[in-house]
Amino acid sequence: MSDYDLKLDEGSYLVYVEETGELFIAYDEGDYSLLFETDNSLASLTYFNEITEPTTREIEAGIEVTATPNKELQEKSYIQQLANKGLAMIIDTKENFYTAKGIGDLQQFVYVDYDYSQLNLAIDSHGSKAISRFVKKLEDRANNAPWWKDAAYRNEAAQWYKKYGSEGYQLWLDTTHDIWLEENGYDPRTYQAWKEYSKSETKWNDKLSSYKTQLEEYVGAKGGELSDEALEYAANEWAWGRWDAAKARRQVLKAVDPGEEGDLDAGFMSFLDGTEVTETTLKESEVQEDLDTYLPSDLHSAYNVKEVAQKYRNDPSYRMSFIEGLKQDRYAQYPMYDKNLAWNRIVAGKKSMASQVWGIDISNIKDNDAGIIQLLMDNDPSTAMQTLRQIGLDRGYAKTMGDFANALASSYGTGVVRSAGFRE
C-alpha cells in the first residue's frame, strides 16, 4: 500500500479547505452522496506520519543546517500528493467551499455534520468500513428523512450556508424550515422525529420499544396477535410522526379485527400480506352461546358468528337486541312456546324424556334429531311418551325393545299358567 492513501472506503476522497485547514470526506454511495465534517485530523483519515525529529546536514565544509519539521507544511504536501492521485480536492477559501456545495462540484452532496456522525470514533471502531456502515444506517432510515434526497432541499440549505456561514443551517431550522417542509409536501413532525433520532439513537430505540409494547398490549387485549415485524412497522410509523397515537392504535386493532372502524393504511396492509396475523375471536363464544340458548340449531346457519362477534365487541348494547331477534326468529317457527323461554331448556327437557325411553345417553341425542323435532312440534305432553316408544321400537333401541318385551311378559306370562286364568 502506498503511503499516500486513505483509511476509508473505496470511492471516498478528501475535500481540503486551505484557508481554514478544514477536512471533509466526500463519499458517493449511489442513492446517497455524502459530505462528512470531520475532526480535521489527517492522521485519522490517512496514512500520514508526521516527522517530528529535526534533521541536520552539512551544506559546506564545517557548515551544518538543522531543519525543524513543520507539521502544517507536511500535511499540505501530503494532501497535494493525494490530490495528484485523485484522492483529494483542494479548495482555496471557505466561500468557494460554500459555493461548491451550493451550485458547484459538491452540490449533489448531503452535508453531515461531525456532531451527528461522530466519524472519528466510527473510524476507530470500524476502520475503513466506517462510512459504508454509516451509509447503511442512512439507507435504513431513508424513508424517514426523504428531504435529504430532494435536490430542492439541499439547494435551499446550501443557500443559507452561503449567506450566513456555519450558522446558516441552524438559522433556517429556527425560522422558516418547517414552512418550507409543509410547502414542499413534507410533515414537520417527521423532521422533528428525525432530529430526536439523530441526537440519541439509544433513546430513540427505547422509544420505539415502548411504542411497540403499547401496540402489542392493545392487540393482546383484543384477543389477536401480530408478528414482531408488523408491530415494529406500526411503532416506526408512530415514532416518525406519520401516524399519531390514535391512528397507530386503530391500525393494529383493525389488523386483527376487521370489524374495527376505518380502513387499513395501504402501506401497512401491503406489509401484513407477508406476515402472520391472528385475528381475534373475542366474543365469538358468547355469540355461539346465545345462538344455542335461544335458537334451534337448524336456524344457526343464518348467522355469521364472526360478524356478530364484531358487533358485540364494538357495541356492548348490541347483544340484547340480537337476543331479542333470536327469540323472534324462534317464535316464528315454534309459536306454541313462550317467546321468553330459553330454547335450550325446552330442548333439554325433550331430550331428557327421550333418553329415559330410548336408553341413550342424553349427550348422544342431537338437538335436530327427527324424534326430538316431532316432540317439539307436537308439544303435547299426553302423547309424548307414546311417540318416543314408537320411535324407539322403529329404530330398534335396546332399552325400548326390552321394555316392550317385559310388558308382554307381564301381560301374557312366560310359560307358567296363572290360576286366575282357569274356571271350574
Tell me the average pLDDT across 241-250.
93
What DSSP assignment string belongs to 184-248?
TT--HHHHHHHHHHHH-HHHHHHHHHHHHHHHHHHHHHHT-EE-HHHHHHHHHHHHTTSS-HHHH
- Count CA atoms closer than 13 A to 415's CA, side-chain side: 0
pLDDT at 153: 83
Q: How far apart are CA 21 and CA 372, in angstroms?
A: 99
When pLDDT is cut at 50, 70 and 90, the band that residue 144 belongs to is low
Q: CB within 8 A of 253, min separation 6: which ones?
A: 218, 219, 222, 260
User: In this predicted model, which residue has the larger pLDDT, 387 or 7?
Assistant: 387
pLDDT of 57 higher than 80: no
pLDDT of 357 higher than 50: yes
pLDDT of 386 higher than 80: yes
When pLDDT is cut at 50, 70 and 90, the band that residue 113 belongs to is low
What are 175-184's contacts with CB under 8 Å, separation 24+?
180/153, 180/156, 181/147, 184/147, 184/150, 184/152, 184/153
Dihedral of CA atoms 161, 166, 167, 171 in degrees, nearest 10, equals 30
Tell me the average pLDDT across 61-85.
84
When pLDDT is cut at 50, 70 and 90, the band that residue 298 belongs to is confident
pLDDT at 261: 87
pLDDT of 146 higher than 80: no
pTM (predicted TM-score): 0.49
- With a pLDDT cut of 90, the percent of the chain lying above it is 33
User: In this predicted model, which residue has the larger pLDDT, 163 or 308?
Assistant: 308
Q: What are phi and psi of 217, to 5 degrees?
A: -65, -40
Buried b (16+ CB within 10 A) or exposed e, 109-141: bbbbeeeebebbebbeeeeeebbbebbeebeeb
pLDDT at 130: 52
User: In this predicted model, which residue has the larger pLDDT, 383 or 58?
Assistant: 383
Q: Is 291 exposed, middle or buried (0-12, 13-18, 19+ CB in 10 A)?
A: buried
pLDDT at 132: 59
Q: How far apart are CA 35 and CA 101, in angstroms?
A: 9
Q: How far apart are CA 142 and CA 255, in angstroms?
A: 26
Give the H/E segment covering residue 35: strand 33-37
CB 354 within 8 A of CB 332: no
pLDDT of 28 higher than 80: no
> Which of 165-179, 220-234, 260-274 shows the lowest mean pLDDT across its residues?
165-179
pLDDT of 231 higher than 90: yes
pLDDT of 423 higher than 70: no
The closest alpha carbon to 6, from 65, 75, 82, 72, belongs to 82
User: In this predicted model, which residue has the larger pLDDT, 224 or 100?
Assistant: 224
pLDDT of 166 higher than 90: no
Nine-digit cell at 372? Answer: 326430538
User: In this predicted model, which residue has the larger pLDDT, 214 or 165?
Assistant: 214
pLDDT of 175 higher than 60: yes
When pLDDT is cut at 50, 70 and 90, the band that residue 165 belongs to is confident
Tell me the average pLDDT across 362-378.
89
pLDDT of 120 higher than 60: no
pLDDT at 419: 44
When pLDDT is cut at 50, 70 and 90, the band that residue 198 belongs to is low
When pLDDT is cut at 50, 70 and 90, the band that residue 116 belongs to is very low
Q: CB within 8 A of 281, min separation 6: which ones?
A: 223, 306, 309
Q: How far apart are CA 203 and CA 181, in angstroms?
A: 25
- With a pLDDT cut of 70, the percent of the chain lying above it is 82
When pLDDT is cut at 50, 70 and 90, the band that residue 117 belongs to is very low
Tell me the average pLDDT across 85-92.
92
Q: CB within 8 A of 7, min separation 6: which ones?
A: 44, 45, 46, 47, 123, 127, 128
The whole-angstrom distance between residue 394's C-alpha and the CA centroid of its chain comes to 62
Tell me the average pLDDT across 159-173.
82
> In the block, which residue shows the cell 373475542?
282
pLDDT of 115 higher than 50: no
